[in-house]
Amino acid sequence: MTAPIPTSTWATTDGVAVGTVEAYSLEGAIIEARIDWQQNGEWPATGCIVEVHIRREYECPLCGGILRDDSCPSCEYEAPDEWEPEEADIDITIEPDEARLDENWSYLDREGHVHEWHNPHELLGGLEENPGVWGHGGARITVTEVCRCGARRTVDSDPFRLPCSGPEEIISYSYPDGLWPWGRDCEYPGVPEDEEA
């Protein structure tokens, strides 16, 4: 029996959403799918890992229709038993959107402020030679840095985190001391502007 005819269209799905990309090879389809899923869709601000199935679309050799589940809905054609479609399962990492994580981002951006991260031991604790870094057993660690505006950025890293639990690094922002706790003109976090040399 004649095998299905491959097209350059690949169907993508995470089990809920669906899409298509154009590519001539599986490798090309994987690249295009990563770009498509990263740029489109509504993802959590913290980022995530999306498990996506990619499968090439095939034309029916009898009528030219697109196969569905190895058979043609327009005629009686079914793909031979020994035929296997080109397909793959991939994990796509959606990077965190730090602007959405920071509750004061819009205000600070309008003011022209750009976060500059520091790790003063007196504010963040931890070992003096490695301030702001905390181990949680195994390979999981959190690293916190602070900006002179009062923002704290924490990265929770776990190389063994399961994809269903989120990306390897989870980023969060907080302002435990409020916005500009050391004055708007302070140059280093934790040092009030009137104490600067």
Give per-10-residue mean pLDDT for the chain (197 aa): 89 93 95 93 88 95 91 91 93 90 92 93 91 89 94 91 77 94 87 61
186 in helix, strand or coil? coil
Tokens of 23: 């590519």
- Burial class, 26, CB count within 10 angstroms (exposed 0-12 / middle 13-18 / buried 19+): middle
pLDDT of residue 190: 81
List pLDDT tens digits, range 61-103.
Answer: 999 999 988 899 999 899 999 999 999 999 998 888 999 999 9
